[in-house]
Amino acid sequence: MYQRFQELMNKIADLNYAAAVLMWDQETYMPIKGEKYRSQQIATLSGLSHDLFTSKEMLEMIEVLRSDESINSTQKLNVLETAKVLDKKKKLSTAFVIEMSKTVSNTFSSWQNAKQTNDTDSYLTQLEKLVLLKRQEADMLGFTNHPYDALIDEYEPGMTVAELDALFSEVKIKMTELLVKINKTPQVNDDCLRQHFDKEKQWKLGLELLKRMGYDFDAGRQDISSHPFTTSFSPQDVRVTTRIAENDIANMIWSCIHEGGHALYEQGLPEDQYGLPAAEAVSLGVHESQSRLWENNVGRQLPFWMANYPFLQKTFPEQLSKISLSDFYKAMNKVEPSLIRTESDEITYHFHIIIRYEIEKKLIEGSLKVKDVKQAWNSMYKDYMGIDIVDDRNGMLQDVHWSHGSFGYFPTYSLGSFYAAQYFAKACQDIPELESEIEKGNNQLLLDWLRKNIHTHGKRYSASELCNLITGENLSLDFFMKYANKKYGDIYGF
């Protein structure tokens, strides 16, 4: 029976990967009029995948297999993880799922409209309905301590409000301390990153960086899209996209390395478990740890650029030949409070996340009304970063997540950064020559370490188990703070 289970899971994966191809095409190559039928086609694939996943056959097999003692540990993992998802689905009635899907669709349209017209009020009216449904969803899914826990579980299984509250209050204190120190010293100049950089040359540079990271171009490719993303069509076809701004090379370089980190994870998942939990990422937080680790702990550090800056200078001699590595390094690490999350630096980024976390947690527990979100947003931006919001488009309307109903998603971005620092510290400890090898252009030692310690396990361990297994302790902010204090102390001289 396990074999039949696997067959059905493979079929479901085929449908999901096919939908991913259609979405990738939608973002990269599809002509404008193609939009008309594409969403319907994707919806059909998703619907069929859902039907198979929740079919009587699947439910019956899972009931039998979950108590089958003859299957091996990987098979057990696949059965139990699948059972977990199915148990959740069973808690939501079909009527509720349809209502949610309609409401999400309306809220998303309303958000798109608000971004154009600045009509925040209409959006909030719509968002209120969605928040009400998400609160109901939390109740239906069930929770022990906080309703928001039920929602986080979708993105970061096992994570709770209690843990996040503790973590983020520590973050607030320590990052504020660090920010105060940084703000007392003269600002870093990052003009060198904002010169004119030819798009074609940037494109080739991006490809070269991915290659140097160890990304397998025989099992993937890079294309252009308006928002960079990583997507898989199988463990042997993992694609990334990037965007190129002619007057800002930072945009391309670090988004390229970031997506490359996600893609290396996907390329490293166990291939023989196609379509099964054993071949899936642990959680969004752990996925983000892989992108952040490459983007920040490798890609915004000196060793990596000691290996790669000469190539960058050679590509853009006019722009960079007179810029020293040290100035380039400082520029890429400039810290400055700003309006937009996705453009923020490694430190203030977490204030953006905490603001969103606090708002959505309160919305779900019912202690903040949707109509008061704007005021809460604006006052926290002022409190935490001294920033005035003059326009909701650059304020509470900047992210798509809420309009998609993705409450509980934002914290995984911060978790990713903190896991990344902890993992990278451990890798450096395990491999004393790691950074000196990166300095020589050899990234393979790091990739091998990530493959062996993280990628190859798929969903075998929870994020917390994996962290303990690898580093011998729970997730701790210490690693990130140590890394950040050292880096910014050097750069800003304190």
In the complex, the residues that contact a copy of itself under the rule CB under 8 A are 10-11, 14-15, 17-19, 21-22, 25, 29-38, 40-41, 44-45, 48, 216-221, 223, 233-234, 236-237, 274
Active-site pick, 81, 137, 156, 259: 259
SS3 239: strand
Closer Cβ to a copy of itself, 123 or 215, answer by number: 215
In our burial notation (b when 16+ CB lie closer than 10 A, e otherwise), range 263-289 reads: bbbbbbbbeebbbbbbbbbbbbbbbbb
Whether the Cβ atoms of residue 67 and residue 7 lie closer than 8 Å to each other = no
Closer Cβ to a copy of itself, 28 or 105, answer by number: 28
Closer Cβ to a copy of itself, 240 or 438, answer by number: 240
Closer Cβ to a copy of itself, 29 or 494, answer by number: 29
Q: In 185-224, which ranges are continuous DSSP H helix?
A: 199-213
Closer Cβ to a copy of itself, 15 or 282, answer by number: 15
As given in the structure block, the two tokens for residue 218 are 């025989």
Whether the Cβ atoms of residue 197 and residue 249 lie closer than 8 Å to each other = yes
In the bound complex, what is the minimum distance in angstroms from residue 12's beta carbon to a copy of itself?
Answer: 9
Whether the Cβ atoms of residue 476 and residue 170 lie closer than 8 Å to each other = no
In the bound complex, what is the minimum distance in angstroms from residue 220's beta carbon to a copy of itself?
Answer: 6
Give the β-pairing of 230-234 and 222-224: unpaired
Closer Cβ to a copy of itself, 32 or 180, answer by number: 32
In the bound complex, what is the minimum distance in angstroms from residue 159's beta carbon to a copy of itself?
Answer: 32
One-letter amino acid for residue 172 of the chain: K
Whether the Cβ atoms of residue 395 and residue 413 lie closer than 8 Å to each other = no
As given in the structure block, the two tokens for residue 181 are 């120190």
As given in the structure block, the two tokens for residue 140 are 């239906």
Q: Contacts for 435-439 with beta carbons within 8 Å, 24 or more apart?
A: 435/301, 435/303, 436/303, 438/298, 438/303, 438/304, 438/307, 439/302, 439/303, 439/304, 439/306, 439/307
In our burial notation (b when 16+ CB lie closer than 10 A, e otherwise), range 472-489 reads: eeebbbebbbebbeebbe
Q: Contacts for 343-348 with beta carbons within 8 Å, 24 or more apart?
A: 346/296, 346/300, 346/417, 346/484, 347/175, 347/178, 347/179, 347/182, 347/484, 347/488, 348/175, 348/179, 348/385
Spatial neighbors of 63 by CB under 8 A, at least 6 apart, are none
In the bound complex, what is the minimum distance in angstroms from residue 458's beta carbon to a copy of itself?
Answer: 17
Which single residue is written with the structure tokens 């010169």?
195
Closer Cβ to a copy of itself, 99 or 216, answer by number: 216
Closest CA to 261 of 227, 224, 218, 298: 298
Spatial neighbors of 306 by CB under 8 A, at least 6 apart, are 325, 439
473 classed as catalytic: no
In the bound complex, what is the minimum distance in angstroms from residue 25's beta carbon to a copy of itself?
Answer: 6
Closer Cβ to a copy of itself, 188 or 263, answer by number: 263
The partner residues of 248 in beta bridges, in order of sequence, read: 245
Positions annotated as catalytic residues are 259
